[in-house]
Chain A
Amino acid sequence: MNAPSNLKYTKSDEWFDPSSGAMGLSDYAQSQLSDIVFVEILVDVGDTVEAGNPIASVESVKASAETYASATGKVVAVNKALSEKPETLNSDPYGAGWMVKVEGGAVSDAMDSAAYGKYCEGRSH
Chain B
Amino acid sequence: MTYIPISPKERDAMLATIGVKTLDDLFKDVPAKHRFPKLDMPPALTEMEAAMELEDIAASNENVRGDLISFLGAGAYNHYIPSVVDHILRRGEFYTAYTPYQPEISQGTLQGIFEYQSLMAALTGMEVSNASHYDGATAAAEAVNMAYAQFRGKRKKVVISPTVHPQYRAVIRTYTQGMELELAGDDGNADLDSSPQELKSLIDENTMLVIVQYPDFFGRVYDYTKLIEAAHSQGALVCIVANPIALALFKTPGAMGADICVGDGQPLGIPMWYGGPSLGFFTTKKSYVHKMAGRLVGETVDSRGQRAYVLTLTAREQHIKRERATSNICSNESLLALAAAVYLSVVGKTGLRQVAELCYHKAHYAAEQLSKIKGMGLCFTEPFFHEFALCVNQPAEEVNAHLLEHGILGGYALGQDYPALKNHLLIAVTEMNTKEEIDTLVDILSEVNHD
**Closest partner residue, chain A, to B317 (CB atom):** A64
**Pairwise interchain contact A60-B315, C-beta atoms closer than 8 A:** yes
Tell me how far the C-beta of B2 lies from the nearest C-beta in chain A, rounded to whole angstroms.
Answer: 40
**Pairwise interchain contact A64-B321, C-beta atoms closer than 8 A:** yes
Q: A62–B324 Cα gap in the complex (Å)?
A: 15
Residues of A within 8 A of B321 (CB): 59, 64
Binds B, one of A8-16, A23-31, A34-42: A34-42
0 or 1 for each of B309-330: is its CB under 8 Å from A? (1 = yes): 0000111100011001000000
Residue B226 lies at the interface, judged by CB distance under 8 Å to chain A = no
**Pairwise interchain contact B320-A57, C-beta atoms closer than 8 A:** no
Residue B450 lies at the interface, judged by CB distance under 8 Å to chain A = no
**Pairwise interchain contact B315-A42, C-beta atoms closer than 8 A:** no
Q: If the complex has contacts A37-B313, A38-B290, A38-B315, are A62 and B320 also in contact, measured as CB distance less than 8 A?
A: yes
Q: A26–B152 Cα gap in the complex (Å)?
A: 25
Residues of A within 8 A of B315 (CB): 37-38, 59-64
Q: A80–B263 Cα gap in the complex (Å)?
A: 34
**Pairwise interchain contact B316-A66, C-beta atoms closer than 8 A:** no
- Main DSSP-derived SS at the A contact region: strand
Q: A59–B313 Cα gap in the complex (Å)?
A: 8
Q: Which of B152, B290, B316 has the most CB of A within 10 A?
A: B290
Count of interface residues, chain B, beta-carbon cutoff 8 Å: 9
**Closest partner residue, chain A, to B154 (CB atom):** A44
Q: Which of B290, B314, B315, B321 has the most CB of A within 10 A?
A: B315
Tell me how far the C-beta of A17 lies from the nearest C-beta in chain B, rounded to whole angstroms.
Answer: 26
Q: A40–B152 Cα gap in the complex (Å)?
A: 11
Residues of B within 8 A of A62 (CB): 314-315, 320
**Pairwise interchain contact A57-B324, C-beta atoms closer than 8 A:** yes
How many cross-chain pairs have Cβ atoms below 8 Å apart between A and B?
A: 28
**Pairwise interchain contact B152-A66, C-beta atoms closer than 8 A:** no
Q: A57–B291 Cα gap in the complex (Å)?
A: 12
Q: A38–B312 Cα gap in the complex (Å)?
A: 12
Tell me how far the C-beta of A63 lies from the nearest C-beta in chain B, rounded to whole angstroms.
Answer: 6
**Closest partner residue, chain A, to B290 (CB atom):** A38
Residues of B within 8 A of A64 (CB): 315-316, 320-321, 324
**Pairwise interchain contact B324-A66, C-beta atoms closer than 8 A:** yes
Residues of A within 8 A of B316 (CB): 38, 59, 64
Q: A110–B290 Cα gap in the complex (Å)?
A: 32
Q: A42–B290 Cα gap in the complex (Å)?
A: 14
**Closest partner residue, chain A, to B152 (CB atom):** A42
Residues of B within 8 A of A57 (CB): 324
Q: A66–B325 Cα gap in the complex (Å)?
A: 12
Residues of B within 8 A of A59 (CB): 290, 313, 315-316, 321
Residues of A within 8 A of B313 (CB): 37-38, 59
Tell me how far the C-beta of B297 lies from the nearest C-beta in chain A, rounded to whole angstroms.
Answer: 15
0 or 1 for each of B252-293: is its CB under 8 Å from A? (1 = yes): 000000000000000000000000000000000000001000
Q: A62–B315 Cα gap in the complex (Å)?
A: 6
26 A-B pairs with C-beta separation under 8 A: A37-B313, A37-B315, A38-B290, A38-B313, A38-B315, A38-B316, A40-B290, A42-B152, A57-B324, A59-B290, A59-B313, A59-B315, A59-B316, A60-B315, A61-B314, A61-B315, A62-B314, A62-B315, A62-B320, A63-B315, A64-B315, A64-B316, A64-B320, A64-B321, A64-B324, A66-B324
Q: Which 10 pairs across A and B sit closest by C-beta, in order of nearness?
A: A59-B315, A64-B315, A64-B321, A38-B290, A64-B320, A63-B315, A60-B315, A63-B320, A42-B152, A59-B316
| 4 further contact pairs, Cβ within 8 A, besides A37-B313, A40-B290, A59-B315 | A38-B315, A59-B290, A61-B314, A61-B315
